[in-house]
């Protein structure tokens, strides 16, 4: 004989022991059509960075790489800069910030720059690398790469909806 296939039936829902909760997250921001990115690599900027006395006196070159998720479809269809992410403004903001900075660690520079760009340009997320080409003798480069997402607490783009049912709550 064939084994019976179990199904989720209405009688299950009507059972006095049945309890359910549905959680639904809704985003007002339209999901990306594809995973497109604006990529800016090898942005050379001179700044004070480092822990040693000589590094605190002389500017050094750091390299900045940015990867910013965004949907480029609309801009590509209209071929209009007004519909595109203005990566020139993002680059100028990064340059101005880094040139004036004087952090000891590339980790701190990366965190502060990511935070600034997320807040200034209302980015949902950013991947950012900061490196010092001259930091380690014999290596081409050394640095950090971080990926940051805009904190949900700061986002006005999320709505949470919870629906629940607790049939016969004293037993469940």
Alpha helices per DSSP H over 79-157: 87-100, 106-120
CB 43 within 8 A of CB 63: yes
Query: Cα(68)–Cα(93) distance, rounded to whole angstroms?
Result: 15
Please list, residue by residue across 155-171, b when 16 or more beta carbons sit within 10 angstroms of its beta carbon and e when fewer do: eeeeeeeeeeeeeeeee
99-103-109 Cα angle (round to 5): 75
The radius of gyration computed from the CA coordinates of the chain, to the nearest angstrom, equals 25
Please list, residue by residue across 47-79, b when 16 or more beta carbons sit within 10 angstroms of its beta carbon and e when fewer do: bbbbeeeebeeeebebbbbbbbbbbbeebeeee
Q: Which residues are catalytic?
A: 132
Please identify which residue in the block is written with the tokens 């497109």: 36
């Amino acid at each position: 004989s064939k084994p019976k296939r179990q199904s989720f039936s209405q009688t299950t829902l009507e059972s006095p022991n049945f309890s359910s909760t549905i959680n639904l997250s809704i985003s007002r921001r339209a999901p990306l059509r594809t995973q497109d990115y604006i990529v800016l690599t090898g942005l050379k900027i001179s700044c004070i960075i480092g822990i040693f006395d000589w590094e605190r006196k002389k500017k050094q070159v750091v390299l900045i790489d940015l990867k910013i998720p965004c949907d480029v479809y609309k801009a590509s269809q209209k071929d209009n800069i007004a519909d595109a992410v203005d990566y020139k403004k993002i680059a100028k903001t990064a340059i101005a910030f880094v040139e004036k900075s004087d952090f000891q660690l590339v980790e701190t520079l990366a965190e502060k720059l990511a935070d600034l760009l997320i807040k200034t340009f209302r980015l949902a997320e950013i991947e950012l690398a900061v490196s010092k080409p001259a930091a380690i003798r014999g290596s081409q480069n050394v640095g950090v790469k971080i990926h940051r997402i805009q904190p949900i607490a700061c986002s006005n783009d999320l709505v949470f909806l919870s629906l629940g049912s607790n049939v016969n709550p004293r037993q469940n």
